[in-house]
């Protein structure tokens, strides 16, 4: 738990917070890695990540996050779309294009894809990967 929210100390998880902070420093220096944080609901995963990633933005890193739940399983790529801020009204034309493509509206995207041809989820997954590549 955060110590009353006042001191910013994450009680009982200092090694994990330290590990995340070290990895953030590595990312800021250009050496990325993947981290999996898993566990039962309510054990503090979000608080752990919040504490461990607190210095990411000041170090020049963009922090994106998403949360999964059972209901979201019904919608392919939902967590990634939320995490990356992909929505039709996005200011970023890349994100807006992906959202329009998922709706099947390719008319004003400049894409060579044609609405109704192929699987829009597969196409969106490819575009999400390309977006992540650009963001990284």
For residue range 25-46, what is the model confidence (pLDDT) as tens digits?
999 999 988 899 888 988 889 8
> For the whole model, what pTM was predicted?
0.68
Q: What percent of the chain has pLDDT over 70?
A: 82
Closest by CA to 45, choosing from 61, 66, 74, 71, is: 66
Domain match, 56 and 75 both: no
Looking at the fold, whether 55 and 92 belong to one and the same domain comes out as: no
Q: Residue 1 has what pLDDT?
A: 37
Could you say which of 16, 39, 63 is where a domain stops?
Answer: 63
Within this chain, do residues 54 and 84 fall inside the same structural domain, yes or no? Answer: no
How crowded is residue 95: how many other Cβ atoms within 10 Å of its Cβ?
A: 20
Q: 31 is in which domain, residue-wise?
A: 1-63
Claim to verify: residue 126 and residue 100 sit in the same structural domain: yes
**What does the pLDDT average to over 5-19?**
74
Residues 77 and 116 in one domain: yes
Whether residues 13 and 43 share a domain: the answer is: yes
Question: CA-CA distance, 111 to 92, in Å (whole number)?
Answer: 16
Asked whether residue 6 carries a pLDDT value surpassing 80, the answer given is no
């Amino acid at each position: 738990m955060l110590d009353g929210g006042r001191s910013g100390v994450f009680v009982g998880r200092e090694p994990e917070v330290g590990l995340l902070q070290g990895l953030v420093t590595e990312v800021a220096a250009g050496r990325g890695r993947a981290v999996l944080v898993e566990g039962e609901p309510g054990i503090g995963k979000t608080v752990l990540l919040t504490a461990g990633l607190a210095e990411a933005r000041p170090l020049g890193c963009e922090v994106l996050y998403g949360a999964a739940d059972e209901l979201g399983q019904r919608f392919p790529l939902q967590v990634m779309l939320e995490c990356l801020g992909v929505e039709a009204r996005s200011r970023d034309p890349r994100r807006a294009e992906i959202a329009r493509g998922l709706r099947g509206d390719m008319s004003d995207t400049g894409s060579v894809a044609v609405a109704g041809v192929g699987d829009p989820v597969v196409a969106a997954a490819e575009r999400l990967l390309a977006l992540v590549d650009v963001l990284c």
